[in-house]
Amino acid sequence: MGISQMLMKLAEGMATSCWIFGITLLFSLPLGMVIAFGRMSKKRIVQGITKIYISIMRGTPLMLQLMVVYFGPYYLFGIKISPFYRNIAVVIGFVLNYAAYFAEIYRSGIESMPVGQYEAAEILGYSKSQTFLHIILPQVIKRILPSVTNEVITLVKDTSLAFVIAVSEMFTIAKALASSQTSMVPYVAAGIFYYVFNFLVAWIMEKIEKHLSYYR
Amino acid sequence: MNYLEMKHIKKHFDELEVLKDISLNVREGQVVAIIGPSGSGKSTLLRCATMLEKIDDGELSYLGERAAYSQNGEAVYEAPGKLKQLKSYYGLVFQNFNLFPHYSVMKNICDAPIRVQKREKKEVQEQAKVLLKKMGLEDKADAYPYQLSGGQQQRVSIARALCMNPKILFFDEPTSALDPQLTGEILKVIKDLAAEHMTMVIVTHEMNFARNVADHIVFMENGVIVKEGAPEELFTSDNQRIKEFLGKFQD
């Protein structure tokens, strides 16, 4: 197999890695906000449940979580799992895990807001939702952007964990090619791919940070 | 007419009784200064008067409309809708300004009138320009709060409060975060407002200012009003505590 053929195969894996990345962000960013609200809820039960949830998601390996989501239905309920379920399991696993991390980032940002901002908004008659949407959230986004960038970069690299349930993303294919062709080329190509991907992520996030630097 | 009426207000935090049976009336056009040592409860009184803090017991009303009343030794507040309407009667200027850092000066002033009061954008912006001019900040409309000095920020926050067209304006130690020169800027603005008969309640450490601008001074200590009256009455009082307190400022 020539290098160009190998690269063709790797390109397919790249596409898979990209959609895992995209779909995970698409769902985990908003879900994280819901979980953050649960975590800050005044209701003890809601707060307790989200706290346990976050604790489990952060306290166990993502690799293990992916396996539980994928094999769980069969081992626990005897449900036959179709090969396509792989893709769904990957999304569920990644979204649940990343939402927990994002929730904690949101919470740290929201709780770092000075109480005076809420009081000023209250005196001016803003409703609770107006206060959050127009006064608090824009400032929170600016504050948490560096932490979010960190998490997003980790996600790019974490997509390679999908290999444990045999989703043919970039890393899975690189590994298979490397052993079948006894070549380092797939690993080098994979390394370059992850690096370039993250370089782009960092560049975009920096642009957004710059865009928000009009105030302090 | 009494613009603000507080009767038998009680407030405690945990074990600490901060306000012990305080009653205070503010009439239309009156400028009331609340003075007293730190920990006397004057800031808490202001926070209760602006409903940032809930009272434990007592009565509270604005322009003759009731916000809270006493029932079986406990304060009962009116429905949220009613409170929202009452809250539109007053504004508050904070010690730390609390401007919105992500909004320009113009947007800080105009956003609430447009979004909350649903007023015409153009009309609000016209009023904001007039207010900025009055504050000597007509060239700062597009600046962001971080680009302004403390005194300028405080003047913006006064303009922001005024643009809501409040009937009463509360000030919570408006000059405490400012150096003496910037303090002068703010005091002049408040003096001008007093000349326009704006009803104001000011918690302050500026004794000379209280004496010159207020037409009613309330001296608080340990959660009670020790004495209240016309400035001259207080500043020439024989009360030992007031003399001691004012003496410290004259040194």
User: Which residues does residue B13 pair with via DSSP β-bridges, in sequence order?
Assistant: B16
Distances (CA, A) of A132 to A135, A161, B163: 6, 36, 22
Average pLDDT over residues B159-185: 92
Residue pLDDT, tens place only, B202-217: 999 888 889 888 999 9
CB atoms within 10 A of CB A182: 7
Partner residue facing B112 (CB), from A116, A124, A138: A124
Q: Side chain identity at A22, as an amino acid letter?
A: G
Residue with tokens 């309640």: B201
Domains in chain A, CATH or no CATH each: 3-215 (1.10.3720.10)
Residue B180 has pLDDT above 60, yes or no: yes
**B164 vs A116: CB contact, 8 Å cut-off?**
no
| C-beta separation of A168 from A16 below 8 A | yes
Q: Is the pLDDT at B250 greater than 70, yes or no?
A: no
- Identify the pLDDT of residue B243: 86
pLDDT at A61: 96
**CB distance B217 to B185 below 8 Å:** no
Q: Which of B97, B100, B114 to mutate to test the interface with A (most CBs of A within 10 A)?
A: B100
Q: Which residues pair with B27 in a beta bridge?
A: B2
DSSP per position, A198-210? HHHHHHHHHHHHH
Q: Touching check for B156 and chain A: CB below 8 Å?
A: no
pLDDT tens readout for residues B23-61:
999 999 999 999 999 889 999 999 999 999 999 999 999
Comparing C-alpha atoms, which of B125, B200, B190 is closest to residue B151? B190
What per-residue confidence (pLDDT) applies to B112? 97
Q: Is the pLDDT reported for residue B62 higher than 70?
A: yes
Q: Whole-prediction pTM value?
A: 0.90
The percent of residues in chain B predicted with pLDDT above 90, rounded, is: 80
Residues in B closer than 8 angstroms to A131, CB to CB, are none
What residues of chain A score a pLDDT lower than 70? none
Sign of CA dihedral B93, B94, B98, B104: positive
Position B251 pLDDT exceeds 70: no
| CB pair distance less than 8 Å for B160 and A124 | yes
The residues of A whose Cβ lies within 8 A of any Cβ of B are 114, 116-117, 119-120, 122-126, 130, 134-135, 138-139, 142, 214-216
Q: What is the pLDDT of residues B90-103, one digit of tens each?
A: 999 999 999 999 99
Residue showing tokens 């730190």: B38
Amino acid (1-letter code) at residue B64 = G
Q: Say yes or no for a CB contact (<8 Å) between A216 and B146.
A: yes
Which chain A residue's Cα is nearest to B47? A119
Who among A124, A135, A215 is closest to B164 (CB)? A124
Q: Choose from A112, A124, A129 for mutation: most chain B CBs within 10 A.
A: A124
